[in-house]
Structure 1
């Protein structure tokens, strides 16, 4: 024999069915594997569940009180019974056990028993829009979402104040009803969930007005959530046990936060690195320049060395986003785009030609010779050769 089932549930030996169910529900909330995955706790949960299975079934409870094994098989022992309801004559092997093995049927009182009213709540998916600076450095945000919470009026019981659940008069608390039919093999007994109590074994005659007997109500809640630094678009964060309350006060589901990063006007994020492009005048690229640049960390002074060509990349180490799973940060990559003037006035054109002449990149008109001219003539010859 196992331990004292009354002791396991923490109830008196004359406890009512309602007291037994309340004790089981209280322990199940604490020990359910979804709430507490510790292996030792899971063994305790199995023990509590077995105790409830026995004490919530009148016939098994009577057997336990008499010192018999409530899980011992019935119908296979003494005296040879005739071929009656659920037997194969002298073999003593119950026919309904065969039906149960193949088709899920069973004899009332020795089958599945009442269904547990307490079920785990659903998980919730919540999308959170965030700016680049928030995903880069982390932030605490107030997140509002609709969910199911415990009914304050009935505290998850489902019954109106001053009333309670009653044993279903159709199934007598078993949660299932049986039907006997005759066939060429003899009598066949099948069971199905009780239609009056939906297989729970009890019914509410006076349901709570606030939750309509469900033990929970829907409302919008706001929670403060700590978003870690380094998350990016599409990252999911699981908040275990923060989702919807289950029916009849069951344990909560989970919350899954999905990060949606808003586009940034300047930076493009690639992993933990940030990329952007700046456009500088041709003269600044040739002569060099210094300019201020706004990063996620504030204003930085950028030095553009003389002779910078288009496509050159300036790297600011450690100016990207923080790494999600380790210390440190990515880099900021600034690509330089040199702008060539499209239109010149007469004075600007004359100065540019003079500049080209001083560098030997141009010659007076009419003196170009293929392969011997300056830069402009070489370009012209290249196109003429096509």
Structure 2
């Protein structure tokens, strides 16, 4: 559009107000047109977009007292005197154009829409959109004892960081990216929704970066990211279980444009213990006892995970598989205190007997004269 065409527009007609309209009437008319034709509410509608731009131009001139006065005087004079750069009663058309369009654009428009399109519906152009860094995952294998007590392990991490060749810009050395024309560098676009409000989503043109790379970096091919390796010390808390996933905040990939870093997720594999098991915060262990100890009772020693021993009293007549609880000898809890040690007894039956042992055991059978423990089983089975 030429300068002459722009100056000959009837801005009062564009806004649908009279030449004597008051500032509040002009503002109200523009708000109505902007609300009805805003591009964010009519994506892809070129007619609405043109109507919105025309109204914006008209409002920029008519809402400014100085511009409006000059505009009215020039139109009342029946036209413009070209080629009269400074004479009395004349005006240089280029100076007039600069004065009348000075300040027109997204910045002034953004202030006007500050209270109209809340919730992110107004177009944001002042800064690139900050992007949170990606989360990183890793795996570690630790011993049973380390899982119970807690430990610190070193992890070799591979993640995406800013490309060292282009310093994260994605552009070849000596060049710079350009602002995305679709989102004006914000990295987001406001999709259509009901009413005045819109839903913000990443810009499809620049994939949310806010910038477009025309001459990409040869190292990262325009992504601005590169694989990096680093060694990190990660604290594994006491009581961690096999297959547990631990989150370490802020230890993932670095963010872009001031965005927060991602998190590190560590999958923990706990090796089995040759003696101890686990049930929640309790340690479990199975200890063998002789037939005589189970029948007569005994005091036995049971090993602990810390390396010491605990004494346990086995009462007379203890059956095979009975479990005893030793308080406070289990796994430490995050909120304080410890679980217990659960000791299950396993009565050992001798595989071979000497002649003397066999004779003694036969004497025992005759002495106790126990009834058949399987009596009645056949009758109960027949009832089923």
Alignment TM-score, normalising by the size of structure 2: 0.57
Q: Which residue of 1 aligns with 2:331?
A: 321
Alignment TM-score, normalising by the size of structure 1: 0.57
Counterpart selection for 1:98 from 13, 33, 37 = 37
Q: 1:277 to 1:381 in 2, by over 3 A?
A: closer
Q: Which residue of 2 aligns with 1:309?
A: 318
Shift of 1:201: 6.3
CA offsets 1:142-196 (integer angstroms, 9 cap, x no match): 123321123333332333444333457xx499469xxxxxxxxxxxxxxx9685x
Shift of 1:206: 4.1
Q: Which residue of 2 aligns with 1:350?
A: 359
Is the 1:150–1:249 contact (alpha carbons within 8 Å) kept by the matching residues of 2? Answer: no
Q: Which residue of 2 aligns with 1:142?
A: 154
Is the 2:179–2:185 contact (alpha carbons within 8 Å) kept by the matching residues of 1? Answer: no
Written as runs of structure 1 = structure 2, the 5 A alignment for 1:128-139 is: 128-139=140-151
Shift of 1:240: 1.8
Shift of 1:141: 0.7
Q: Which residue of 2 aligns with 1:382?
A: 375
Determine helix, strand or coil for the equivalent of 1:283: helix
Q: 1:141 to 1:198 in 2, by over 3 A?
A: closer
Structure 2, gaps ≥5 residues long: 1-9, 17-27, 54-104, 107-121, 187-201, 380-384
Written as runs of structure 1 = structure 2, the 5 A alignment for 1:225-236 is: 225-236=234-245
Written as runs of structure 1 = structure 2, the 5 A alignment for 1:191-202 is: 195=205, 202=211
CA distance in 1, matches of 2:243, 2:290: 38
- Whether 1:80 and 2:13 are equivalent positions in the alignment is yes
Q: Which residue of 2 aligns with 1:265?
A: 274
Q: Which residue of 1 aligns with 2:97?
A: none
Is the 2:179–2:212 contact (alpha carbons within 8 Å) kept by the matching residues of 1? Answer: yes
Residues matched between the structures, number: 269
Q: Which residue of 2 aligns with 1:5?
A: none
Determine helix, strand or coil for the equivalent of 1:276: strand
Q: 1:175 to 1:245 in 2, by over 3 A?
A: closer
Structure 1, gaps ≥5 residues long: 1-76, 84-89, 177-191, 362-373
CA offsets 1:262-301 (integer angstroms, 9 cap, x no match): 3333223122111222222212334555655432100315
Q: 1:212 to 1:257 in 2, by over 3 A?
A: same
CA offsets 1:109-130 (integer angstroms, 9 cap, x no match): 6563558354112223334333
Q: Which residue of 2 aligns with 1:282?
A: 291
CA distance in 2, matches of 1:384, 1:233: 43
CA distance in 1, matches of 2:41, 2:336: 58
Counterpart selection for 2:164 from 146, 149, 152 = 152
Shift of 1:352: 0.6
Q: 1:215 to 1:80 in 2, by over 3 A?
A: same
Is the 1:154–1:161 contact (alpha carbons within 8 Å) kept by the matching residues of 2? Answer: yes
Q: 1:250 to 1:380 in 2, by over 3 A?
A: closer
Q: Which structure has the greater CA radius of gyration? A: 2
Determine helix, strand or coil for the equivalent of 2:308: strand
